Structure 1
């Protein structure tokens, strides 16, 4: 009995423990359920992934870009919500601001000054060009001056002449001498007749003292200078007034510079000009503007600017090349708003700048259209659109504009704003995705990409960007890609030839052909990572430069874009090859003496930057093999 009693107590204790455990566990379950419901409301933010080169791509998982195949990067949330940000502001974070190398400057008022660079040639002073004529008809018996370039002096013997008329005049003089006392007027008239034939008093006195008729007489030079041309030979018969020699006095010369029509309003009489002569290195010359041509050439669009220079040592010879600088000042513009040229995006119809908004923490910019005034070399004067003290972007402006396009805001090519079809890379199918990303475009890593107006003029610097790839080492790629790049290069050659001829309309058409060829280049054939990254940068710059050339008609601005296009295409040709032997050529006088490269299929120089003015200026720097 005692034995069963123990079992009954144990069972009772067990049941009691289960009841108590159920009570306590039920309370915890309810609490846990309540907390679980609370955590379910706080749904965590989903991490998004994007492509550094195509920020319109947003993926919920990491992987590769469906457009270019690059590895996706995390998309960070913008911290701009802490400030009052307007809807039309382009917001950037600090990292993307630094990567894009954006620089700004404060808008200031200044006088309108401009440094004008001119090219010209030394010319003889037209007021000191002489025709040495014979005042006596007759036959040339002897030439004392017998070659071009010989220096002569006034009073020097130049030719000896036989003249029947002179013989008759001498006989008249001798008869007049006999009756000199009776008819002095007859003597004076006979003597003056010889003077009118430019015989000197010394020659006439020699004739009188000899008492004999001289069958031949020496003609003396009326002028001092250098013989530019000899127009007679021994034995020639010449009439009175016939031209014997053309003589130029070079004690004073003209330097005839050519000024583009946009620079003419800046140039005034008595402006000081400093210039150098290519043939006389290390020596600087100075002069003043004495004349500005009132007519502009319909072919070259330039006007002549004349500078007079003393030349006592005859160092300056006709047809020498000269490079001049005028530090000009526009009259009536002593207090005008000026900004650097690099701050302005110009489409031909409108000029656009991006004004930095003065937030404390957020970096953002606003689209602003402005009215341009005078071109001041490295600056523009602004008539309307900006105020003194505002801050504008001066470097990386294209990157800000690209962000605005992706965000569907106002931009250079889309002034009304709204979503636009951004298209894709050459040879890429965008899959019908025409929506612009709402992401901050500043996240895009463009640190090794140079936009228009920001490319270093030093060609060698461009070749060292993006990574440490040896530019002399060819990257192996498919024959298909090389053939497509060859079509781009062939279109480039036609563009270059148009600039050689100075034909801006053909240049625009050739640029469009080049753009069509770029669209046919299939980047998917580049499987190598370095090759892929290089072509991403190169294709973007070529496309932007060619687009600018196709949309403008000013040939000098077209040539400026052509310089950038040539630099990047040269990089592509060196890296990938185009199945042809290519000559990389350079002119130190192109782009206002900064120098510029171009590519050619032929070794003889035909300069696309200076055209007919200096067609053969330059030399071959590199031969790029097939």
Structure 2
């Protein structure tokens, strides 16, 4: 009986143990599905790493970005919990990318079309007060009372004395008419009037009558008050009736003739107030109204004259003095204009592009949009079409957004159609990949050399004088420290540039085509991963794209005029790299004002001697050195 009792106790303990096990394990029934299968225990969420500049990168381990070489940062898994619906054409940026790229936005608003126009000009005489003092009597100059240019004369002042046989004959006629004045009074009046027509005054004629003697010489008096601008006679000259003795300018009022560029002419209206200063009279502000706008634009200078009239009672304003003026102009035919900052526009010559912020609650993203620009307002543009008030556009760091769009194969400034594989020349750089297909490895989307050769290059190469580059130009001349390897690779690119420049100076289009191809090959060997500094990385991203595009354009044509046009853009962008990073050589930045149809253009050289690549043998020595870039 005792034996059975022990079995009962053991069974009870086993039963109690089973119950306690179920309680502490959460219950056995919840661990089994209705179909008898057990739940699988899920592994912890794998931590992902991304690039602050290229958020499309997803890596399971920390390391370097396969695109730019930046250190990867942890991806916040919680940020994916409440993801918003993102359209296919949106460029999504992380908070880190926004901060590192210094991306800023501006609200699109309606405003009046106003512009501050700055003008340069000179003081000129009032053309309505320019006079020619002539002689009304033929004869010989016996004396000059006014001897030099700039001398002031007043009306009635003696200016020259002349000997005139005709005057002697006229005096004889006068004396004869005096004797018969009682019989023939009309004859006396006629002879006296003859002398008046020769501009002799009544006082001069009365003096001749009182003297009773013929005067062989007579003084000619000034008809005007002013300053002698030009003396046209010398002592002893024989003159005819109507010969010019002096050119005289009355400066009691003057014109200030300003020069307005053709883009500013539509803003300037008659009656606009001009506030201006005269360089020769510091500390004093002058004010006047526009009384005339030249209807013709100069074919050489591309400017039109704008006239302001000013009283000058003290003669303080002298001809040819320099003036600097400002007009706060307003377009009268435009109301409630849509305006955006110039820095928001990527301008390619034919297309104007902005990136519009998508109004998501949590996600920061932008979309590509082409717009139509109107008038230039100085720091702003009027937008004719493409934007509405209340939208938000990126106004700083726009190139960084566009670079991300190119890397993703979406619509961008260099790829307006958004065709896959057309990245505007960015993907051919060493270590660059699109990172768009998460199923592929980091290097799976690299563009091959063959694709690079067949890649379409946009003909809408940006003009560096007009493009709205978001790079901080105030820091462009500040040298950035980079590795020796990168500097050496950039030096190889620069050496090919010098060979290209020398070919253009010799008017050798075929050689230029060859060296442009060599420059492209050198660009392929420049490793962006060597740039670990964020500022250096951002600058090179922008510069390399333009250098590649310009060099490729030169390599595809043997038209030397087209080559020189692309060489202008190539020089503008490569010089930025030389200034920023150096090329282990002293470089001379030179400028020719007659290049590019008198718009002027820069180039770089290793010699201070001028060899002009834009004009070649026609004007080989045209230009001068503007900057010396130390190694």
Residue among 564, 568, 575 paired with 1:569: 575
Q: C-alpha displacement at 1:513, in angstroms?
A: 11
Q: C-alpha displacement at 1:425, in angstroms?
A: 6.9
2:454 is equivalent to residue 454 of structure 1: no
Q: C-alpha displacement at 1:262, in angstroms?
A: 2.2
2:354 is equivalent to residue 353 of structure 1: yes
CA–CA separation in structure 2 for the residues paired with 1:406 and 1:170: 100
**Contact 1:133–1:241 (Cα < 8 Å) also in 2:** yes
2:92 is equivalent to residue 76 of structure 1: no
1:381/1:325 CA distance change after superposition, 3 Å: same
1:436/1:516 CA distance change after superposition, 3 Å: farther
Match of 2:289 in 1: 288
**Contact 1:404–1:411 (Cα < 8 Å) also in 2:** yes
Greater mean alpha carbon deviation, residues 326-335 or residues 80-89: 80-89
**Contact 1:396–1:454 (Cα < 8 Å) also in 2:** yes
Deviations 1:95-149 (A, max 9, x none): 1112221222222222211111122222211111111111111111111111112
**Contact 1:55–1:437 (Cα < 8 Å) also in 2:** no
Match of 2:118 in 1: 117
**Contact 1:113–1:328 (Cα < 8 Å) also in 2:** yes
Match of 2:7 in 1: none
* Structure 1 residue matching 2:416: 3-state secondary structure: coil
**Contact 2:139–2:240 (Cα < 8 Å) also in 1:** yes
Match of 1:138 in 2: 139
CA–CA separation in structure 1 for the residues paired with 2:297 and 2:48: 64
* Structure 2 residue matching 1:96: 3-state secondary structure: helix
CA–CA separation in structure 2 for the residues paired with 1:40 and 1:186: 139
Match of 2:232 in 1: 231
2:482 is equivalent to residue 482 of structure 1: no
Greater mean alpha carbon deviation, residues 480-489 or residues 121-130: 480-489
- Compute the RMSD of aligned alpha carbons: 4.9
CA–CA separation in structure 1 for the residues paired with 2:549 and 2:120: 26
1:66/1:570 CA distance change after superposition, 3 Å: closer
2:215 is equivalent to residue 206 of structure 1: no
Deviations 1:230-280 (A, max 9, x none): 111111111111111111122211122222222212111111011122333
**Contact 1:541–1:568 (Cα < 8 Å) also in 2:** no
**Contact 1:546–1:562 (Cα < 8 Å) also in 2:** no
2:104 is equivalent to residue 88 of structure 1: no
Match of 1:582 in 2: 588
1:530/1:355 CA distance change after superposition, 3 Å: closer
2:99 is equivalent to residue 98 of structure 1: yes
2:173 is equivalent to residue 172 of structure 1: yes
**Contact 1:485–1:578 (Cα < 8 Å) also in 2:** no
Deviations 1:159-185 (A, max 9, x none): 111111111111111111111122111
CA–CA separation in structure 2 for the residues paired with 1:494 and 1:379: 41
Match of 2:327 in 1: 326
2:197 is equivalent to residue 188 of structure 1: no
Deviations 1:315-372 (A, max 9, x none): 3222222222111111132322222222222222232222222222111122222222
Match of 1:300 in 2: 301
* Structure 1 residue matching 2:178: 3-state secondary structure: helix
**Contact 1:354–1:392 (Cα < 8 Å) also in 2:** yes
* Mapping of residues 602-613 of structure 1, within 5 Å: none
Q: C-alpha displacement at 1:384, in angstroms?
A: 2.4
CA–CA separation in structure 1 for the residues paired with 2:220 and 2:502: 60
Match of 1:503 in 2: none
CA–CA separation in structure 2 for the residues paired with 1:320 and 1:493: 44
Task: List runs of 5+ in structure 2 lacking aligned partners.
Answer: 1-13, 19-24, 33-37, 440-466, 554-564, 594-600, 615-621
**Contact 1:338–1:382 (Cα < 8 Å) also in 2:** yes
Deviations 1:365-412 (A, max 9, x none): 222222222222222222222222222221122222222222222222
* Structure 2 residue matching 1:120: 3-state secondary structure: strand
1:530/1:401 CA distance change after superposition, 3 Å: closer
Greater mean alpha carbon deviation, residues 373-382 or residues 536-545: 536-545
1:123/1:543 CA distance change after superposition, 3 Å: farther
1:151/1:181 CA distance change after superposition, 3 Å: same
1:342/1:423 CA distance change after superposition, 3 Å: closer
**Contact 2:143–2:161 (Cα < 8 Å) also in 1:** yes
The number of residue pairs the alignment matches comes to 538
* Structure 1 residue matching 2:349: 3-state secondary structure: coil
1:581/1:403 CA distance change after superposition, 3 Å: closer
CA–CA separation in structure 2 for the residues paired with 1:139 and 1:563: 67
Match of 2:410 in 1: 409
Match of 1:215 in 2: 216
* Structure 1 residue matching 2:170: 3-state secondary structure: helix
**Contact 1:48–1:61 (Cα < 8 Å) also in 2:** yes
Q: C-alpha displacement at 1:545, in angstroms?
A: 6.7
CA–CA separation in structure 2 for the residues paired with 1:278 and 1:340: 32
Match of 2:267 in 1: 266
Q: TM-score when scaled to structure 2? A: 0.71
1:483/1:211 CA distance change after superposition, 3 Å: farther
1:602/1:305 CA distance change after superposition, 3 Å: farther
**Contact 2:105–2:393 (Cα < 8 Å) also in 1:** yes
Task: List runs of 5+ in structure 1 lacking aligned partners.
Answer: 1-19, 440-450, 498-505, 552-558, 588-595, 609-615
1:94/1:539 CA distance change after superposition, 3 Å: closer
CA–CA separation in structure 1 for the residues paired with 2:200 and 2:515: 73
**Contact 1:491–1:514 (Cα < 8 Å) also in 2:** yes
CA–CA separation in structure 2 for the residues paired with 1:548 and 1:308: 51
**Contact 2:543–2:576 (Cα < 8 Å) also in 1:** no
Q: C-alpha displacement at 1:283, in angstroms?
A: 2.3
* Structure 1 residue matching 2:399: 3-state secondary structure: helix
**Contact 2:103–2:394 (Cα < 8 Å) also in 1:** yes
